[in-house]
Amino acid sequence: MFNYLEKNAKYWAGTYAAANVESFIFRFYGRILKFDYGIDGSQHERVLDFGCGQGGALQFFDSLGFNCYGVDIASTDIAEAQTSMPHYANQFKVIDLIPDEKNIFFGGEFDIVISIQTLDFLSNTDFNKAIRCLYNNMKPGAKLYASMNGYTHYYRQGATDIGDGLWNVKFKTDRLDYDLCVNFVKDKEDMKQRFSLFKPVYLDYYDASFREEGSEFRYTFFGIKE
């Protein structure tokens, strides 16, 4: 297989402005972390965002008192996160394209790990390395919340299956110019199997459609490291 990681990295090298927290993040906080587990940030729990981008989600957790850390492959986005959250400048890091389960970020021992719309840019082989990496960075009892593209996501329409779970999504519109390699999840059982290192608690989804471009359906997984 051609070097899909370099293809994806080339796309993400351009900045992606996303300064605000997404709705499914603050609902995850309010409906799960706080309501189910009483985790509200008052104990300064350590949160890692794997694929943090410019740190929009972490700004939200920071406002609640959490101790925030972020990693991403995009140096431009990490630089922006460090600028917008200067008090956490040393808690953002550019990581290598290739996942390594032995990587420990900032000493590990995280209470919460989130990874939103990030893991689906990895092949099945590299996903397994990344998920073991996240597992190894978490305390026993730590919480994981992640999302991945579902099979009905409009990106998959016309995409080419290139193996190891990846599809080459290549199209151009008046708004987008995509040439990416993306992984798609078939159903909730598939999502559960991918995160089998963790005790599953909630398998859910979110969806949106704008300008009639199509469904942006994504599955979510919330689980616990036992």
Quickly list DSSP for the chain.
---HHHHHHHHHTS-----SPPHHHHHHIIIIIIHHH---STT--EEEEET-TTSHHHHHHHHTT-EEEEEES-HHHHHHHHHH-GGGGGGEEE--SS--TT--STT--EEEEEE-S-GGGS-HHHHHHHHHHHHHTEEEEEEEEEEEEBTTSGGGTT-EEEETTEEEEEEE-SS-EEEEEEE-B-SHHHHHHHTTTSEEEEEEEE----TT-----EEEEEEE--
On the question of pLDDT at 60 being above 90, the answer is yes
CATH superfamily for domain 4-150+185-224 = Vaccinia Virus protein VP39 (3.40.50.150)
Tens of pLDDT, residue by residue over 111-129, are: 999 999 999 999 999 999 9
Q: What's the rounded Cα separation, in Å, for the pair 49 and 13?
A: 18
Q: What's the rounded Cα separation, in Å, for the pair 120 and 116?
A: 9
The answer to whether 71 touches 103, Cβ cutoff 8 Å, is: no
pLDDT level of residue 1 (50, 70, 90 thresholds):
low
| Percentage with pLDDT > 70 across the chain | 96
At residue 193, the pLDDT reads: 98
Question: The whole model's pTM is what?
Answer: 0.94
Q: Is 107 left (phi over 0), alpha (psi -120 to 50) or beta?
A: left
On the question of pLDDT at 82 being above 70, the answer is yes
Tens of pLDDT, residue by residue over 159-200, are: 999 999 999 998 888 887 888 999 999 999 999 999 999 999
**What ranges do the domains of the chain cover?**
4-150+185-224
